[in-house]
Amino acid sequence: MGYFDAASAAPLHPVARQALLASLDEGWADPARLYREGRRARLLLDAAREAAAEAVGCRADELVFTPSGTRAVHSGVAGALAGRRRVGRHLIVSAVEHSSVLHAAEELERDGGTVTQVPVDRAGAVDAEAFAAALGDGTALACLQSANHEVGTEQPVTEVAEACRAAGVPLLVDAAQSLGWGKVQGDWSLLTASAHKWGGPSGVGLLVVRKGVRFAPQGAADERESGRAPGFENLPAIVAAAASLRAVRAEAAQEAARLRELTERLRARVPGLVPDVEVVGDAVRRLPGIVTFSCLYVDGETLLHELDRAGFSVSSGSSCTSSTLTPSHVLKAMGVLTEGNVRVSLPPGTPAEDVERFLEVLPGAVAAVRERLGAPAAAESAPQTGADLVVDAVGRRCPIPVIELAKVIGDVPVGGTVRVLSDDEAARLDIPAWCEMRGQEYVGEERAERGTAYLVRRIK
């Protein structure tokens, strides 16, 4: 089996398993107590904190353990905003942040604050100067992930942190995807991470607040974890998380080089093996192990099931794989094709043979899905028999509107237009992306009596 979804959750590292089992016997007592068992538990907790702090590059008393990475984000955002409430209630985030950050931003807006989303380019990266321009007198906090969880693009954290420091605004970095590969560079103020992303157990997050950062923990007061993460510590999981972080870091340089070679192989060969594919994300400034691509005329959910039957576990940002039927906010912000989206994220230790087998399986899986949906062949072209056409795809979800467009574009003469009617949110992204891939002109959209009309002009 090829498990290719490490960006969601990496398999438990052997060191984490060993540490977890060992600490179940030694770390069950309350580390806040002064008797023998409590002191033993406290020693384990302190050692884990020291190891995690060393990996992060901070002081041990700046780091607390939380019940999850999401909780770390929510506590970090809320505490930093509350600590700087006299400055203002303005928050800056990138448009491709993890949903935990965006949900925290929505909470601020509901409470009367303001949020600025800094856009990204087609590779998924923010412009450091644009981020700096969003900083203002009332900005209480800025948030920027170290690397994107869906496409692997690394963000210019060092440059953004420098701008934030000059403006006197703390920067919270979500390092969930990158911390296992190395320390986050730059003069950041707060940092969050999640153990299950680097091969630790689930249910352990990290929150780092640098000394000197104004921070007011929210919620009922608690004496645990400096008052920033209430509740009894899950000591065995914490010990396992710290031990596995140290272990993966020791292997990181060698494993990163190996996984980069495998992902470069995927990025180079997938477009040659599968027609009408867009590989997304920065080609150079990216995490090891993550490759994301989108396939025209493909239902993402069906493709994932097809690959699962072939023995490969991957994820997708396509709207047809989500309960909301809206495309991934990351792909949407990038302005890239969303239909038939596949994210391959290789865990450390992935054999090269598994990648080769995936490359053998993928073309047939995509072809089978396209045939099932009645998609046109890559070179298919119909005779020019009419003038402008209207395609009614209202009520039909991705990728049907694009498939119907592709079927009829040859029916109009060069210079003629096809008007696609759709009420699917993904069409707003996927029809322009299809035009760019196919060399046709996307004219724009208009309101229609039913749904939205997307206008495409044939130019070749």
List the catalytic residues: 320
Is the sign of the CA dihedral 8, 13, 19, 25 positive or negative? positive
**Stretch (H or E) spanning 245:** helix 235-273
Gap between the Cα atoms of 287 and 119, Å rounded? 20
Strands lying side by side in the sheet with 417-422: 389-392, 417-422, 452-457, 441-447
- From 417, 421, 418, select the one nearest 393 (Cα to Cα): 421
Contacts of 371 (CB under 8 A, 6+ apart): none
SS3 state of residue 323: coil
Q: How far apart are the first and last CA of the chain?
A: 44
SS3 state of residue 457: strand
Contacts of 143 (CB under 8 A, 6+ apart): 77, 91, 92, 93, 94, 97, 101, 105, 171, 172, 173, 174
Using only C-alpha atoms, the chain has a radius of gyration, in whole angstroms, of 24
Gap between the Cα atoms of 226 and 344, Å rounded? 38
